[in-house]
Amino acid sequence: MHLIEIFLPTKLPSGRPVSDALWTEVRDELVAAFGGLNARDDKPAKGIWQDEHDEILIIEVMCEELDVAWWQGFRQRMERAFEQDEILIRAVAVERL
- Mean pLDDT value of segment 74-84: 97
**Model pLDDT, residue 92:** 96
**What confidence category does residue 63 fall into, taking pLDDT thresholds of 50, 70 and 90?**
very high
**Model pLDDT, residue 96:** 85
**Model pLDDT, residue 69:** 97
**Model pLDDT, residue 39:** 86
**Model pLDDT, residue 29:** 96
Domain positions in the chain: 2-93
pTM above 0.75, yes or no: yes
Rounded to an integer, what distance in angstroms lies between the CA atom of residue 73 and that of residue 14? 24
- CATH number of the 2-93 domain: 3.30.70.120
* Per-residue pLDDT tens digits for 13-62: 999 999 999 999 999 999 999 999 998 766 555 555 556 667 889 999 99
Rounded to an integer, what distance in angstroms lies between the CA atom of residue 59 and that of residue 6? 5
